[in-house]
Amino acid sequence: MRICLFPGTFDPVTLGHVDIINRAIPLFDKIIVGIGINTAKAPMFSAEQRLQWINDIYKDEEKVEGAIYEGLTIEYCKKIGARFILRGIRYVSDFEYEKTIADANRTLDKTIETVFLTGEPKYTSVASTIVRDIIKNKGNASPFLPESVYQSLPK
């Protein structure tokens, strides 16, 4: 079984994330959207809220499920039996950063492969950091968010 982990903070889940997940569905038997708990980051939304969004968006897709994890991504892959890590790439700078992480992960476990998907051009400007800033400043974040995420935001 080809199990893939798509790790991230997903704070919030954006249309860019959904684009990568949707295009990865035919490639894997199971995609675990792993909400990583990073003690160095102070998220805007709780891990439970982010997990709920993933579960709501993919309630009708049996191949996608959400999870919350702590610690090294490579160790979580081993725990869930994932042989692949999925990463989305928007820009060349994303690739440089992600390749460094992929190289480190390969050093830690050569049996787990990182797979990169490039985002659709219409989503390249969709970064969670920008979306959080729009939300904080009471702007209209709907063009960047799945409907269920946008509807759940405080008005």
Catalytic residue among 2, 23, 30, 41: 41
Catalytic residue among 23, 59, 90, 106: 90
90 as an active site residue: the answer is: yes
87 as an active site residue: the answer is: no
128 as an active site residue: the answer is: yes
Asked if residue 12 lies in contact with residue 145, where contact means CB atoms within 8 angstroms, the answer is yes
Asked if residue 14 lies in contact with residue 124, where contact means CB atoms within 8 angstroms, the answer is no
106 as an active site residue: the answer is: no
Structure-block tokens of residue 82: 């994932």
Catalytic residue among 50, 99, 106, 128: 128
Q: How far apart are CA 68 and CA 1, in angstroms?
A: 21
Half-sphere exposure of 131 (CA within 13 A, CB side): 26
Could you list the active site residues?
A: 17, 41, 90, 128
